[in-house]
Chains A and B, each alone.
Chain A
Amino acid sequence: MSNSTRLVLALAVLCAGLAAADFFHHRHSYFPLEARTGFYAVFGLFMGALLLIAAKAAGALLRRGENYYAPHSVEAEAHPEADLGRENADA
């Protein structure tokens, strides 16, 4: 099992634990919707996924080349060296 898989599994276990806490703690809530068991878990997972999908779609729809606005934009330019302090780490 790779490290990343282990990390995702650990996160899933943590999520399950936190979600299970809903059964033991009655949430003080502002709305009936929010009071439902597992609201934050479901909201977090699904809305998170939804945002990622929507952002992917937005990116596909709205992305243009870096030279799209050139020369009137900084996207097509390199950051000027005078403003930088480039240094590499000692090997």
Chain B
Amino acid sequence: MPELLTPATVYVLAAVLLPFVPRGVLRQLVPVLVPLAGIAIFWPLQPGTYGTFNVMGMHIGLMRIDDLSRIFGLIFSVAAFLSAIYAWHVRDTIQQVAGLLYAGSAIGAVFAADLVALFVFWEGTAIASVFLIWARRTEGAFATGMRYLIIQVGSGVILMAGVVLLYFDTGSVAFSRMQLDSLAAWAIFIAFGIKCAFPLLHNWMHDAYPAATVSGTVILSVFTTKLAVYALLRGFAGTELLIYIGATMALFPVFFALAENDLRRVLTYSLNSQLGFMVVGAGIGTPLAINGSIAHAVCSVLYQALLFMGIGAVLHRTGTARATALGGLYRTMPLTMIFCLVGGASIAAFPFLSGFVSKSLILSASGYEKHLYVWLALLLASAGAFLHTGLRLPWLAFFGSDSGKRPKEAPVHMHLAMGLTALLCIGIGVFPAVLYGLLPNDVAYEPYTVSHILSQLQLLAFVALAFALSVKLRFFPQAARGLLLDTDWIYRRPLSAILGGMRYLVSGSWRFAARVTTGRVDRFIAGVYRAHGPQGPLARTWPTGSMVLWIAVLLGMTLVLTYI
């Protein structure tokens, strides 16, 4: 009998029962307590695989506990806990259930020991999360959710295809290290890449995340992409291709993040860029780099959630997250501003904040492996992160030109969630040994050397100087209304126009063919009716005399023919 008590079961069970819990404090408590229960289940377990059974000759394992799954399980649970506190005000059952199912699927996927269980949870995250977008309940959100769902489920289908091919090749569905040498491995790699928002496969993310509800975006920012990072670390660590993908990924969202008007989309681009760092770490694949990638995933979950919470609070109070409609909010939302600054400083890797202790690992790893251009790209992306998220975002929302808006401070529960998250960001920065102790590889690393701190401070100060000068010269960062075209333009405009044209062609030719065919069939039926209908010559009743006459004619013709 397999042990079925896994964190994922608890989440799913809670999601099923939640609608029956009476509305009120009890109902709001469920999403807060479930993550704690989840941690209580997996944390005490010794490394090993639990919940194993055989299905159709395949070996399924629901709970693989090792250093890698344990730390991802932990940070996902913590993030689920924090976002549940943040969403305390939400009374929408759909969002509560979707949030639980989404977090449960992501945690289930992290613990899955085989690719079949991974696939099930992989699709679970896709289907559950789309409801956080649809919960906005507008036409635009519905269309956005559809696009998101198609791509996410598509990733799952490609994963399934890869798993099937792999099973035929090797006879095993175990989820372990793979080489990019077969179609199966490539399919799985691309499925992971879609969810990880590789360059050109990334557009679902910036399209969908800013379309979700206030608390929905916070939850979305945590799971899907970091699950993909986990999957890459588990399946493709040390794949060189990932280094170059990651470097591109770290760099190119920077420009969008610097120009975008919707601040939640700015954060989505900045999240995309941070994922690039993790992918580089996975690609380098040395023990230090792997540690760095995991540590950065942990820190990034926290500071990115903190930032989404902060801007979410602004949206909650003002009704907009557009930079052009904001500015000067520090007067009435000082605490939210401080939390955003902590998040911004963390992503910018200020010493004694979480980003510093995790980003250093990846930069050092690329330095040790002598990847000069990758290292430069990451350094540039770091400078960019400080510019777009550490400086431009708080400037546009809380300082800058006064929008005249005087919103009330965020509700207490949002402050509590942001405060706890900010504390974790600071705590990890001040006591990195606690985080390093949870990482799988035993590598001695000291982030706080004079060289590191000094060079990072120099970089940040000069980037800040560039920013300050550009503001002073009125070159930047004035936001402008409007949206930025990204590669999703291809399928939202020309491709959809081509598809529309093809639909027109196909439906036109179908109509033409149908008209011609029905015309012919109609004429045929009319002909039959003419001959056999009530008035038709073949349906008439004939007098016996004419029948005898015709028989005589027939016999006569037979006689003539016989003699010819």
Contact = CB atoms under 8 A, between A and B. Distances in A.
A10 to B, nearest CB: 10
Contacts of A87: 317, 407-408
Nearest to B258: A55
Interface string B254-284: 1110110010000000000000000000000
B138 A8 contact: no
B140 A48 contact: no
Interface in B202-223: 207, 210-211, 213-214
A8 B315 CA distance: 30
A65 B481 CA distance: 7
B466 A49 contact: yes
Contacts of B456: 40
Contact of B315 (A11, A63, A79, A82): A79
B451 A29 contact: yes
A71 B139 contact: yes
Nearest to A89: B332
Contacts of B332: 89
B140 A73 contact: yes
A84 B313 CA distance: 9
Contact of A11 (B451, B458, B461): B461
Contacts of B136: 74, 79-80, 83
B468 A8 contact: yes
A2 to B, nearest CB: 10
Interface stretch (B350-358, B380-388, B518-526): B380-388
B239 interface: no
B451 A27 contact: yes
Interface in B77-101: 89
B375 A30 contact: yes
Contacts of A1: none
Interface string A60-87: 0011111011111111111111111111
Given A43-B379, A55-B259, A79-B319, A8 B472 contact: yes
B465 A86 contact: no
B200 to A, nearest CB: 16
Interface string B145-183: 000000000000000000000000000000000000000
Given A30-B367, A52-B470, A86-B317, A64 B255 contact: no
B406 interface: yes
A91 B331 CA distance: 12
Contact of A30 (B364, B450, B458): B364
Contact of A48 (B141, B451, B467): B467
Contacts of A69: 483, 492
A66 B472 CA distance: 28
Interface string B120-152: 000000000000000111111101100000000
A84 B316 contact: yes
**Is chain B's binding surface mostly helix, strand, loop or mixed?**
helix
Nearest to A8: B468
B409 interface: yes
A44 B383 contact: yes
B459 A11 contact: no
Nearest to A46: B466
Contact of B320 (A30, A44, A79): A79
B480 interface: yes
Contacts of A5: 472
B268 to A, nearest CB: 13
Contacts of B211: 73-74
Contacts of B135: 83
Contact of A74 (B138, B255, B408, B449): B138
B420 interface: no
B36 interface: no
A81 B138 CA distance: 11
Given A71-B143, A72-B143, A55 B214 contact: no
A45 B466 contact: yes
A65 B459 contact: no
B543 interface: no
Contacts of A91: 406
A51 B254 contact: yes
A23 to B, nearest CB: 12
B368 to A, nearest CB: 7
Given A59-B484, A71-B139, A80-B136, A30 B368 contact: yes
Interface of A: 4-5, 7-8, 11-12, 14-15, 18-19, 21-22, 25, 27-31, 33-34, 39-49, 51-52, 54-56, 58-59, 62-66, 68-91
7 pairs of A and B residues whose beta carbons are closest in the complex:
A30-B367, A44-B462, A48-B466, A55-B258, A59-B259, A72-B143, A40-B458
13 contacts: A8-B468, A18-B458, A25-B454, A31-B372, A43-B459, A51-B384, A52-B475, A58-B484, A73-B144, A79-B321, A80-B136, A83-B214, A88-B408
